[in-house]
Amino acid sequence: MKHKIAILVVICLLWSIALAATKPDPTALVGQVGDREYNYKKFNDGFKAYLQYYGGGKVLTKQDSIKLNNQYWEELVGIYVYDQAIKAGKIKVTDAELEAEIKKNIPSEVKQIKDFQTNGKFDNAKYLQALKDHPEFKKELMNYARDLYSYNKLIKTIKNEVKANPDSVKNAWMHQNNYASAKIICFDYNKLTNINVTDEEAREYYEAHKEEFKRENGRRFLFVRFTGALSKSEDMEKIAQDNKTLSTTLFNRAKEVGLKRAAKEMNLPLEESPYFNPQDQIIPLIGRAPDLIAFAFNNPVGSIPDIFYAPTGDIFVLELNSEIPEYYIDFEIKKQEMIIRANRTKRMFTMDNYVQEFMKRETPETYLEAAARDSIAIVEVDKLLADSDIRTIGKIPALNEAILNTPLGSFTPLIENEKRWYLAYVTNRQLPDLTIWEKDKQNIIAAAEKKMQEDHLNQWYIEQRQKVKIIDNRKDFYELYIPLKL
């Protein structure tokens, strides 16, 4: 029995040690805002009171607690930002203002004082008499109200730095109430994926644009490639070792007699890189090799650089074998680029011809039917404004303007933008009703000013917050996010 009791005591002792070990150090720094430090005790005590106040006695979820923790922290930051602004003289608060404040906005706790009640209800006359008869009581209330009144005055002052211009608000309202809905026929050459150039057409395109690929001061390498592999199998490791031995032998012999003769003696195939210039980072057929490029432009023809080990596992033994004052990048290097560009040009040309034929052949009564028949995309847009982005199309001011200037039930003129063509049929048209403006303009202007002032306050706060030194270590003491369940 004594043995069991001893074990129980040890278990309890270990448990208490574990609890002590997991409990945060009260002096540990949870955060710092400017020159205000919050150790664990100070922050946690404040956070508990905050939870109690905003939790209203109900059981809080983990998500609620996280939200309130972040909210409490941001309020601490906000208080510091506001205090700094007040300290810098952004506003001044007089005793006369505070006296007026405590008479106008009476704290709820004060209303509960029985000395200020008559028949169980707050009696304002008794309260005002108490302020008159007891200066110390008035002074305490003024000090109590000072912070909140100062913050409210600061916020109001900042908001009042901007005022809504009635003409600007009217213009914005007119803009928001001037819209249309439409069906837009989109003649987009990118959709002509069945139109492609032949290799011969790609070469013709290259020849027509050959001057784009003219370069000066070219170099090229003669080289022998020993093909490697990234695999770690035994066979691959043997091949890699053999390549290393063989390439070293070739390299040493090439240093004596030149790469061309050395490769011939060892019966190894030679390759030649296309020309490259000092601005290049990649040598065609070899890969990214800035060190080799630097070597090529700092050494004479016939020089042999160190063996080059490519990231792919290939090994290269090279010799600088040619230099040229000017050259053209080979077609084969630019072939894929030429195919893409030539395809684009051919598709543009094809679509341009189709659109012109479409406009000759069809009438406004048949535009939509013909477009659907020929699988031309038709995009529907609702409440299009002058500056709207249209889904899948983007913002095209000329198209938007044409739609807004076209009567209901009519087609716009043909609109061209970056070699794409558009025809829009207007299905709905809304114009601003000035009688509504005249009736509601005061409310509209007030709402616009309210938003302007809120945006101005938010921007001011963001700018001031960025100036504050903030250290946030809360994640070391509190769970601040809920992991996603996959």
pLDDT one-digit tens code per residue, 14-58:
434 343 446 799 999 999 999 999 999 999 999 999 998 887 777
Give the DSSP H/E element, type plus range, for residue 449. Answer: helix 434-466
Longest dimension (CA), the chain: 120
Please tell me the distance from the alpha carbon of residue 339 to that of residue 385, in angstroms, as a whole number.
39
Does residue 200 form part of some domain?
A: no
Clarify whether residues 377 and 477 are in a common domain: no
Closest by CA to 355, choosing from 343, 340, 336, 370, is 370
Does residue 412 form part of some domain?
A: yes
Please tell me the distance from the alpha carbon of residue 348 to that of residue 419, in angstroms, as a whole number.
7
Clarify whether residues 301 and 382 are in a common domain: no
Clarify whether residues 48 and 81 are in a common domain: yes
Does residue 5 form part of some domain?
A: no
Clarify whether residues 37 and 142 are in a common domain: no
Q: Are 255 and 243 in contact (CB under 8 A)?
A: no
Please tell me the distance from the alpha carbon of residue 203 to that of residue 208, in angstroms, as a whole number.
9
Burial class (CB in 10 A: 0-12, 13-18, 19+), 289: buried
Domain that holds residue 314: 209-329
Does residue 16 form part of some domain?
A: no
Does residue 344 form part of some domain?
A: yes
Clarify whether residues 147 and 171 are in a common domain: no
Clarify whether residues 63 and 169 are in a common domain: yes
Q: Are 329 and 274 in contact (CB under 8 A)?
A: yes
**Domains in the chain: how many in total?**
4
Could you give the residue ranges of the DSSP H alpha helices within 211-321?
234-257, 259-265, 290-296
Clarify whether residues 214 and 320 are in a common domain: yes
What is the token pair recorded at 144? 């109590």
Clarify whether residues 33 and 171 are in a common domain: yes
Clarify whether residues 292 and 424 are in a common domain: no
Q: pLDDT tens, 152-161?
A: 999 999 999 9
Please tell me the distance from the alpha carbon of residue 234 to that of residue 230, in angstroms, as a whole number.
12
> Per-residue pLDDT for the chain (486 aa), expressed as one digit of tens each?
444 444 444 344 443 434 344 679 999 999 999 999 999 999 999 999 999 888 777 788 899 999 999 999 999 999 999 999 999 999 999 999 999 999 999 998 999 999 999 999 999 999 999 999 999 999 999 999 999 999 999 999 999 999 999 999 999 999 999 999 999 999 999 999 999 999 999 999 999 999 999 999 999 999 999 997 655 555 778 888 899 999 999 999 999 999 999 999 999 999 999 999 999 999 999 999 999 999 999 999 999 999 999 988 899 999 999 999 999 999 999 999 999 999 999 999 999 999 999 999 999 999 999 999 999 999 999 999 999 999 999 999 999 999 999 999 999 999 999 999 999 999 999 999 999 999 999 999 999 999 999 999 999 999 999 999 999 999 999 998 766 554
Does residue 263 form part of some domain?
A: yes
Clarify whether residues 124 and 164 are in a common domain: no
Does residue 19 form part of some domain?
A: no
Q: Are 38 and 45 in contact (CB under 8 A)?
A: no
- In order of 155, 225, 283, the CA distances from 301 in angstroms are 75, 20, 17
- In order of 270, 408, 435, 442, 448, the CA distances from 165 in angstroms are 78, 33, 20, 12, 9
User: Which 8-state DSSP code applies to residue 211?
Assistant: G
Does residue 13 form part of some domain?
A: no
Clarify whether residues 136 and 250 are in a common domain: no
Clarify whether residues 213 and 237 are in a common domain: yes
What is the token pair recorded at 156? 């109001």
Domain boundary residue among 286, 308, 329? Answer: 329
Whether this model's pTM surpasses 0.85: no
